[in-house]
Amino acid sequence: MPTVGKRLLSSGNFLLTVVLIGVLFIMGNYLSNRHYARWDLTRQQFTALSDQTRQTLTQLEEPLSIIVFYQSNNRLYPLIKDLLAEYERVSPKVQVEYVDPEQDIARAQQLVTEFQIDPNSPDAFHLVIFKSGLPAAPGAAQAGSRHKYISDTDLADYDYAAMTMGGEPRVKAFKGEAAFTSTILSVTQAEQPLLWFTSGHGEKSVTATDERALSELKRSLEQQNIRIEEVTLLERTEIPPDVKLIVIAGPTRRFTEQELALLQTALEQGGRLLALIDPLADTGLDGLLEEWGIALGMDIVVDPARALPFVSAANLFVTDYTQHPITEKMKTLMTLFPLARSVRPVQPAPEGITVTSLALTSDTGWGESKTSVGVFEFNAGEDLKGPVSIAAAAERGSAADDGAPTRLDVIGDSEFLIDAQLSNVGNRDFLLGAVLWLIEQEHRIGIGPKTIETLKLSLTGKQLSNVLWLSLLAMPFLCGLLGIGMWWRRRK
């Protein structure tokens, strides 16, 4: 009998242990499903949302509905689904619905009617629809909501080379995050800030198509839900209050007294100015900028310690930034300036104005006053000793004061914004940070969304043969030798 009791006790302990392990397993899964951590270990942080996207999502005040109106076998469908899962995870106000127009015909027809989708359009059934605002009551109009949809062609760049041989186009780059975040801004922001780009003084143009154009910059600003207009100040008698920022991008000719007076009046009334002034340019803006605490140097900034290979030392890459909302998120990025002049705070600063340098060279950089020489050499007493500031921001007043604060940002180069340069490392982020600070949307400053580009590995016939022999013959043969060696060792 005691033996039977011991067996029962042993069996009971075993069953209890199994039950406890099962309970712990269920509890662990329950907790991990609600409290978990994610890490993106990819080199370019492909699966991590950008700072700008996170800022946009966390500041949503109204529910946001996203309807993926796609066939599930579409090549972009898994990319869209994975990305929107991250959007839902960051913000509880985001709700995503997936509608396959072939499987759910009734719901598809409802969407076509509600959002006035043209069923004959090639992209009619490859759309992502964004709708902001509370849903209307049954039978009521959708007056309180705003919507917009983007198509398949807005989300990806395609490589059509395979079509010449009867194949399907290949997705070359997925631009979903930039497109989604831009669309969210457009349907959630009640106001679309207006920016003026000046013209008539040799400035770089946002509408031109030449090599000095700013078309990529224009597209980036529009993705931030910012409206762009190119204007000639000489034709204006005043600057309307709905103009949130005036941008002067690389002028090569002098501004007239009338235009300078117009800019001064706007700044006195709480206006905003972004001036990108290249070296050696005589723009007539020096006096105006000095009144607001920013001095332009008649020099070219060089930094041999940070020189780029095979180019002049005047091609700068900057990694030193000061503490300011514009550069707060720039600590891990560098900005490339093809040719820059010094831009530094006036000492002492005008009364009531706060001036801050933004980007600096290393200690070994300097402002070269002999701009016509081919070989740069620092001359004490003549050249500006480093670290040299090449961008500065000025502010008078604050948001807490009555009226809008006056803000200026001056950068000693405009070439870093042209289409060929804007995508370099942190150039776009530096400029967007300046614009968002100037229009008092600094809460949106952050590293922008990335474009996920597919990588294509091209191998020759010999390389493919080597890979085949290595994987099918060499590695199994080595594993076999290792096993034989272990067997022989144990036998001994």
**CA 265/CA 271 separation, integer angstroms:** 8
Angle between helices 51-58 and 176-188 in degrees, nearest 10: 30
Mean local confidence (pLDDT), 37-52: 62
Which of the pair, 155 or 455, is modelled with greater confidence?
155
Mean local confidence (pLDDT), 358-382: 87
* Any domain includes 340: yes
**CA 170/CA 422 separation, integer angstroms:** 26
- Based on the domain organization, do 283 and 432 belong to the same domain? yes
The b/e string for 10-43 (b: 16+ C-beta within 10 A; e otherwise) is eeeeeeeeeeeeeeeeeeeeeeeeeeeeeeeeee
Parallel, antiparallel, or unpaired for β 127-132 and 64-69?
A: antiparallel
Sole residue written with tokens 């409206």: 227
Asked if residue 146 has pLDDT above 50, the reply is yes
The CATH code of the domain that includes 332 is 3.40.50
Which of the pair, 477 or 330, is modelled with greater confidence?
330
Mean local confidence (pLDDT), 170-182: 84
Three-state SS for 379-423 is CCCCCEECCCEEEEEEEECCCCCCCCCEEEEEECCCHHHCCCCCC
Range of the domain at 415: 194-440
Of 184, 214, 246, the one marking the end of a domain is 184
What 3-state class would DSSP assign to 444? helix
Helix or strand run (H / E) with residue 151 = strand 146-151
- Based on the domain organization, do 297 and 392 belong to the same domain? yes
- Based on the domain organization, do 86 and 205 belong to the same domain? no
The CATH code of the domain that includes 107 is 3.40.30.10
**CA 361/CA 301 separation, integer angstroms:** 8
- Based on the domain organization, do 179 and 209 belong to the same domain? no
- Based on the domain organization, do 155 and 199 belong to the same domain? no
**Start-to-end CA span in the chain (Å):** 50
- Based on the domain organization, do 201 and 59 belong to the same domain? no
Asked if residue 458 has pLDDT above 60, the reply is no
pLDDT at 28: 73
- 177 neighbors 448 (Cβ within 8 angstroms): no
**CA 203/CA 418 separation, integer angstroms:** 11
Which of the pair, 134 or 278, is modelled with greater confidence?
278
**CA 460/CA 374 separation, integer angstroms:** 45
Q: Where are the beta strands (DSSP E) in 160-260?
A: 170-174, 194-198, 227-231, 243-249
**CA 458/CA 466 separation, integer angstroms:** 14
- Based on the domain organization, do 153 and 255 belong to the same domain? no
Q: What are the φ/ψ torsions at residue 16 (nearest 5 degrees)?
A: -65, -40
Q: Where are the beta strands (DSSP E) in 15-93?
A: 64-69
Return the percentage of the chain with pLDDT > 90, whole number. Answer: 47
* Any domain includes 405: yes
* Any domain includes 482: no
Cβ atoms within 10 Å of 465's Cβ, excluding its own: 11
* Any domain includes 259: yes
CA 218 from chain centre, in angstroms, equals 14
Lowest mean pLDDT among 20-24, 39-43, 300-304, 419-423: 39-43
Helix or strand run (H / E) with residue 130 = strand 127-132
- Based on the domain organization, do 293 and 380 belong to the same domain? yes
- 179 neighbors 154 (Cβ within 8 angstroms): yes
Q: What are the φ/ψ torsions at residue 270 (nearest 5 degrees)?
A: 90, 25
Query: What average pLDDT does the structure give for the chain?
Result: 84
**CA 60/CA 70 separation, integer angstroms:** 25
At 37, the pLDDT band (50, 70, 90 cuts) reads low
Mean local confidence (pLDDT), 62-87: 91
pLDDT at 172: 77
* Any domain includes 456: no
CA 377 from chain centre, in angstroms, equals 37
Query: For 298, how many CA atoms within 13 A lie in the half-sphere containing its CB?
Result: 8
pLDDT at 445: 85
Which of the pair, 349 or 306, is modelled with greater confidence?
349
Dihedral sign computed on CA atoms, order 284, 286, 287, 291: positive
**CA 226/CA 465 separation, integer angstroms:** 54
Query: For 443, how many CA atoms within 13 A lie in the half-sphere containing its CB?
Result: 6
pLDDT at 140: 41
- The rounded radius of gyration (Å) of the Cα atoms in the chain is 30
Of 394, 416, 440, the one marking the end of a domain is 440
* Any domain includes 25: no
- Based on the domain organization, do 311 and 366 belong to the same domain? yes
* Any domain includes 250: yes
Mean local confidence (pLDDT), 102-124: 88
pLDDT at 43: 47
* Any domain includes 206: yes
Asked if residue 457 has pLDDT above 70, the reply is no
Give the chain's count of helices (H) and strands (E).
12, 22
Say how many residues make up the chain.
Answer: 492
Query: For 381, how many CA atoms within 13 A lie in the half-sphere containing its CB?
Result: 0
Return the percentage of the chain with pLDDT > 70, whole number. Answer: 84
Which of the pair, 13 or 290, is modelled with greater confidence?
290
- Based on the domain organization, do 178 and 316 belong to the same domain? no
> pLDDT tens digits, residue range 208-248?
888 889 999 999 999 888 999 999 999 999 999 999 999 99
CA-based nearest residue to 420, from 230, 213, 275, 160: 213
- Based on the domain organization, do 115 and 199 belong to the same domain? no
- Based on the domain organization, do 77 and 108 belong to the same domain? yes
**CA 481/CA 474 separation, integer angstroms:** 11
Helices in 156-214 by DSSP H: which ranges?
Answer: 176-188
Q: How many domains does the chain have?
A: 2
What 3-state class would DSSP assign to 157? strand
**CA 232/CA 90 separation, integer angstroms:** 43
Of 184, 213, 241, the one marking the end of a domain is 184
* pTM score: 0.74
What dihedral do alpha carbons 284, 415, 46, 82 form, nearest 10°? 70
